[in-house]
């Protein structure tokens, strides 16, 4: 699978999405530092919200194949400037999170991600699993054999 780095404001759902992508039970965990997993890099929101730490995020993107800009559908404004994605030499996807939350406006979040330059955008609700498979399929490379693929073959 392609390795993805998840970038976004605090509380936008990066760690929850990480848990959903890994098939783990969803529970709240505040990310205090950059976590590197096999195919996911989970970053603290403070890194993107603080100018000095924002430079560190740029360095971590070199470890990934894909950059995921996350935005909660409840965001009052966008942290991402217009046309920011061309500054990255990797594919940048947009991920709208918390799409089923109270006060959610996924269309607005998606338009902000498009303004930032994301052409491929996924809408997810990590707690219900809605949209998570689409991201897994996007990250999947030819020849990848995932654990559930083997289970599916043996059950046939």
- What does the alpha-carbon distance between residue 62 and residue 134 come to, in Å, rounded to a whole number? 24
CA angle 155–145–96, rounded 5-degree value:
105
* Extents of the domains making up the chain: 4-155
pLDDT tens for residues 114-144?
Answer: 999 999 999 999 999 999 999 999 999 988 8
In tens digits, the chain (156 residues) has pLDDT values of 999 999 999 999 999 999 999 888 888 878 888 888 889 999 998 888 888 887 888 888 999 999 999 999 999 999 999 999 988 899 999 999 999 999 999 999 999 999 999 999 999 999 999 999 999 999 999 888 776 665 555 555
User: Sheet containing 120-123: which strands, arranged edge to edge?
Assistant: 35-36, 40-42, 4-7, 66-72, 92-97, 120-123
In Å, what is the CA distance from 93 to each residue of 24, 33, 55, 74, 96? 23, 22, 20, 19, 10
| pTM of this structure | 0.89
- What does the alpha-carbon distance between residue 140 and residue 142 come to, in Å, rounded to a whole number? 7
Residue length of the chain: 156
Task: Choose the CATH number for 4-155 among 3.40.630.30, 3.40.50.300, 1.10.3210.10, 1.10.3720.10.
Answer: 3.40.50.300
């Amino acid at each position: 699978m392609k390795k993805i780095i998840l970038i976004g404001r605090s509380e936008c759902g990066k760690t929850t999405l990480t848990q959903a992508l890994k098939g783990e039970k969803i529970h709240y965990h505040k990310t205090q530092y950059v976590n590197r997993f096999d195919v996911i890099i989970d970053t603290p929101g403070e890194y993107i919200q603080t100018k000095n730490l924002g430079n560190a995020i740029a360095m971590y993107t070199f470890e990934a194949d894909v950059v995921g800009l996350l935005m909660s559908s409840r965001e009052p404004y966008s942290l991402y400037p217009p046309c920011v994605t061309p500054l990255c030499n990797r594919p940048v996807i947009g991920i709208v999170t918390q799409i089923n939350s109270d006060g959610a406006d996924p269309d607005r979040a998606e338009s902000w991600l498009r303004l930032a330059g994301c052409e491929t955008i996924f809408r997810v609700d990590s707690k219900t699993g809605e949209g998570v498979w689409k991201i897994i399929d996007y990250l999947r490379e030819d020849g990848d054999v995932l654990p559930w693929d083997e289970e599916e073959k043996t059950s046939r």
